Amino acid sequence: MSRNAVEETDWPSFDRFLETLPALYPALHETLDVERHGYSLLYRWRGREQGAPTVLMAHYDVVPATDEGWTHPPFSAEVTGSGEHRLLWGRGAIDDKGAVVAILEAVEALVREGFQPAADVYLSLGHDEETVGSGAQAVAAALAGRGIRPALVLDEGGAVVERIFPGVTAPIAVVGVSEKGITSVRLSVEQDGGHASTPPAMTATVRLARAITRLNARPFPARLSETNLRMVETLGAHATGPLRTVFTRARRLQPVLRAVFGRLSDETRAIVRTTTAVTQLRGSMAANALPETAEAIVNTRIAVGSSVAETLDHLRRAIRDDAVRVEAVDASEPSPVSPSDGPHWDRLAAAIGEVHPRAIVTPYIMLGASDSRHFTGICEAVYRFTPFELSASQRGALHARDEHIHVATWFRGIDVYTHLLRAS
C-alpha cells in the first residue's frame, strides 16, 4: 500500500515531453541555462545584477487516468466551446501542466521582447510530485549546495475562487503561506489465521474495523492558527450582513468561529484541524481464509502547529487497543509559515492585482502537499498559488474525472506570471 506507484510511470511519454520543449520554446532554450535532475528540469535565467533569485515551480507529472467516465479522453487535450466559454479538457490541465506551460509561455514571450530580469530567475519543473518528489528535493539540494537562497519561491496551491467564504461575494485569491504535513499511518493487526468456517469472536479484520470506527468518532480538536485568523480578518472586512461583525472580531470569538468552520463544509473543517481518511485496506488473500494480518492506511493531513508525534499520540489514544499497531509511513511535518506581509508578499499580491483587480488577496494554509515544501529550508518566502480562476466543479475535478480549465483563465494565468517576472 503506497502512493501512486512509481513503477507504473510512462517514461517514454516523459522523454517525448522533454524532447519537444526546445521546439515549442526556442527563445527560452537559447537564452536560459538548463540542467536535468533525473527527469526534473532546472532553468536559470541570468539577471542583470547580483541579488537573491526568484524560483517559479510547477510539476508536469500527473495522476493516472483512463478514458472511462471522461467526457473527453484525459490525454486528448480537446478544446470545446468558443470565446470566454472555451474549455481545455485533460488530465493535468490544472494539476499542474497548466501552470508549467503558463510559466514557459510567460518566459518565452519576455525573452522574445528582449526583457532580462534584474536578479536571476530559476524555473523548477518537477517530474514526480505525485509520487515521491525526488526531483524537487534534488533541485533544492543543488541550490542549497551552491549557497543560493531565493528571495521568493512560488509553486502550485491556492487559486482565484468565489463564494467559498460566507458573506463575501468578491473573488478571493487564496495564497498558501504554509501547508499541512502529510503522513500515511499504517494500522495493522496480527494474529493467528485459520479456516473461515470457525472464526474467533474477534478476527483481525473486526479488530481493525473497530479501530477505524473509534478513530472516526474522535476527530482532532479544532484550532485557529495565526494564519487562519489573518484570513478570517482579511475576508471578514469584505463580508456583508451580521457575519461581518463575527469575522472582524475573530480573535475574541474563536470558539464561535471554530464551531462555524466545523459545520460549513468539508473544506472549512479541514482548515481548522488535522484530518484523517482511511484510504486503503488489506486483509486475507483468500475468501475462505482468516487473515493473519489486517492493515489499513490512514492518510493524515497534519495542521500547522501540530506534529507527526502529536498526531500518532492522538491516534493511539483514540483507538485504545494495544493490539493495533500504529506506525508512520512517509512522514512529513507541516511547513514553516511564510510572511503574509513585506516586499515579497507585496510583489506577488501586486502581480495578482494587475490581472484580478477585484480579488481579495489573503493568506491561507494549503490543505494538500506540494513540492515547495522541499524549498522551505533555503527560502523564507515560499508561496503556493496557481494563478487561475477555478470554480467549485473545476476544483472538484482535481485527481478526478473531467479535469478542465477555461482557456481565457489560462491566458490570465500567463499574465500573472508575466507581471511577477517583470517585477523580479
pLDDT tens across 153-196, in order?
A: 999 999 999 988 888 999 999 999 999 999 999 999 999 989 99
Active site residue 130: no
* Grid cell digits, residue 258: 471554530
- CB neighbour list of residue 198: distance below 8 Å, 6 or more residues apart: none
Q: pLDDT at residue 264 above 80?
A: no
Segment 296-332, tens digit of pLDDT: 999 999 999 999 999 999 999 999 999 999 999 989 9
Report which DSSP code applies to 208.
Answer: H
Q: What values do phi and psi take at 335, rounded to 5?
A: -80, 155
Percent of the chain, pLDDT > 90?
84
Phi-psi region of 265 (alpha: psi -120 to 50; beta: other; left: phi over 0): beta
d(CA 31, CA 33): 7
Percent of the chain with pLDDT strictly greater than 70: 99
Confidence class for position 31, pLDDT limits 50, 70, 90: very high
Residue 198 has pLDDT above 50, yes or no: yes
Candidates 95, 105, 129, 403; catalytic one: 129
For residues 177 and 228, give the distance between their C-alpha atoms in angstroms, rounded to a whole number.
Answer: 11
DSSP state of 306: B
pLDDT of residue 5: 62
Instruction: Identify residue 254 by its one-letter amino acid code.
Output: Q
* Assigned C-alpha cell, 206: 473486526
In the structure, what pLDDT confidence band is assigned to residue 2 with cuts at 50, 70 and 90? very low
Closest C-alpha to 21, from 50, 6, 41, 3: 41
Q: pTM for the full model?
A: 0.91
Which residues on adjacent β-strands are paired with residue 122?
44, 55
Structure letter (DSSP) for residue 340:
S
Least confident segment among 190-204, 304-318, 349-363, 410-424 = 190-204
Q: What pLDDT was estimated at residue 4?
A: 53
pLDDT at 1: 37
What are the tens digits of pLDDT across the range 90-147?
A: 999 999 999 999 999 999 999 999 999 999 999 999 999 998 899 999 999 999 999 9
Question: What are the backbone dihedrals phi and psi of residue 36, each rounded to the nearest 5 degrees, phi first?
Answer: -105, 140
Distance of alpha carbon 345 from alpha carbon 338, whole angstroms: 9
Rg of the chain over Cα atoms, rounded to whole angstroms, equals 23
SS3 423: coil
User: Which pLDDT score, from 0 to 100, does residue 136 have?
Assistant: 97
- Rounded mean pLDDT of the chain? 94
State mean pLDDT over 385-409: 94
pLDDT in tens, 59-90: 999 999 999 999 999 999 999 999 889 999 99
**pLDDT reported for residue 76:** 93
Output 376 or 244, whichever has higher pLDDT: 376
192 is catalytic: no
Phi and psi, residue 306, nearest 5°: -110, -165
Contacts of residue 362, defined as CB under 8 A and 6 or more positions apart, other chains included, come to 172, 173, 174, 175, 230, 231, 234, 235
